[in-house]
Amino acid sequence: MRKLSLILACVFGALSIAFTILPMDTLAFLPIGLALIFGLLTLKKSEEKEKKFPKIIVLLVAFCSLVVLGKTLVIKDEIATDAQFEQQKIETKQEARKELEEIEGLE
Amino acid sequence: MKRLLYILSAVFVFSSFAPQKNQPIKSGEKLVYAGSYNMSGLMTQLAQVTMSTETVSTAKNAYLHLSCELSTYSKWDSFFKIRDIYESYVNPVTLKPSLYKRSIDEGGYTKKEKYVFKGNTVNSTVKKRKKPETQKTFTIGGSTQDVISLLYKVRTMDFSKFKAGQTQSMMIVFDEKQIPVTLKYMGKETVNAGNLGKKECYKLSIGAKTDALRGKDKNLIWLTADAKKVPALLKFSIPVGTGQLVLTSATGI
């Protein structure tokens, strides 16, 4: 039982780190929550001398949750200025005007 | 990729239904939405959707250009960049479309569509990445329109006369064919409408005979219960999950 919860804590811990680095927003709380649950469960099932590793996992995951929370509160959702996209919009509009004139010519 | 196509298709399809009377839609209107997708039970903000209107003139006519753009937030761009444009050029009074264009770029997958409306006939041209261009001509009904112009047209409907549960059937052009859409009025609810504050809204359920939408009464739109009928909130349910568009800013209305 301890081994299983330790493996799951490790797996979700690794996912927590990956999700924290990636722009997954609050979705990162999913592996973080699971890693915490299995980490704490492992701690509970561990002998005194076996507690070091699960403690590291729990602390690491707790740190991840702080980073995710900080990113959620500090980083604003905004779109980048995209010159290529802006140019595409201008060209599309010019094309459309020509196409509309062609349609009018057919009527 | 398929998931994003479903999301975008769903947003536009379920937001589209036919009007009963026309009122002019103002040129210069700009509505900005925050698009979120439900990932494992948590709503994750993914993209900004901007809907705007402007007048475009040719030598003979003036058209209302209805534009809908979707751009992923910059934090997502390095992982999965989306730049989509949906456009409709319509008669400013009747909102009858003359030209509908769709250009999508989703993580490198590109697709361009063009629909030319001539009376009851539509000529469509589709070009997908790494595939030859295809053309199709099909017949439509007198009141069939493209999805973007219908989204604007619905705002001309008088929902004050609707009773809860009342439905209306309509037809739209989508994916190179004409498909039926059903609108159900579900009553009034107060929702947050961005810079407009909390607003009483008409709650409407949309059903379409397409794979893009799933569930009964799970594709919903809230329109402010005033003369402007601004879409304040849109919720959609698609084969790969659920999501929503929340109005963040409305200007020029």
Domain boundaries, chain A: 2-77
Q: How far is residue B117's CA from residue B123's CA, in Å, rounded to a whole number?
A: 7
User: Structurally, how many domains does chain B consist of?
Assistant: 1
Average pLDDT value for chain B: 85
* Token reading at A46: 């561990």
In this predicted complex, what is the ipTM? 0.76
Q: How far is A97 from chain B (nearest CA, A)?
A: 7
Residues on chain A touching B76 (C-beta within 8 angstroms): 23
Name residues whose C-beta falls within 8 Å of residue B126's C-beta, 6 or more positions apart in sequence: B111, B112, B113, B114, B133, B134, B135, B136, B176
Place of tokens 């003979």: B60
Separation CA B26–CA A59 (nearest Å): 56
Which residue of chain A has the CA closest to B40?
A27
- DSSP letters, A12-69, are HHHHHHHHHHTT-GGGGHHHHHHHHHHHHHHHHHS-GGG-HHHHHHHHHHHHHHHHHH
The per-residue pLDDT for range B183-218, each reduced to its tens digit, is 899 999 999 998 999 999 999 998 877 766 666 777
- Report in angstroms the alpha-carbon separations of B72 from B6, B33, B42, B64: 16, 12, 18, 26
Query: Choosing among B33, B56, B57, B74, which should be mutated to test the A contact, i.e. which has the most A CBs within 10 A?
Result: B74
Q: Which residues of B are less than 8 Å from A88 in CB distance? A: 83, 85, 103
B38 confidence band (pLDDT: 50, 70, 90): confident
The amino acid that residue B46 corresponds to is L
pLDDT digits (tens, 9 = 90+) for B44-87: 888 999 999 999 998 888 999 999 999 999 888 888 899 999 99
Size of interface A-B (CB pairs under 8 A): 85
* Residues of B in Cβ contact (< 8 Å) with A107: 118
Alpha-carbon gap: A79 to the closest alpha carbon of chain B (Å)? 4
**How would you classify the pairing of strands B145-146 and B134-139?**
unpaired
Query: What integer is the mean pLDDT of A51-70?
Result: 92
CB contact under 8 A, A92 and B87: yes
Q: Containing domain of residue B97, as a range?
A: 2-251
Q: Cα–Cα–Cα angle for B52, B53, B59, nearest 5°?
A: 145
Percent of chain B clearing pLDDT 70 (strictly above): 87
Q: Does B73 touch chain A (CB under 8 A)?
A: yes
pTM of this structure: 0.80
Separation of CA B168 from chain center: 18
Q: Which domain CATH number covers B215?
A: 2.40.360
Q: How far is B234 from chain A (nearest CA, A)?
A: 19
- Considering only CB atoms, which chain B residues are within 8 Å of A80? 71, 74, 77
Which pLDDT value is given to residue B22?
40
Q: Which residues of A touch B79 (CB under 8 A)?
A: 22-23
By three-state DSSP, how is residue A10 classified? helix
Pairing mode, strands B82-90 and B62-72: antiparallel
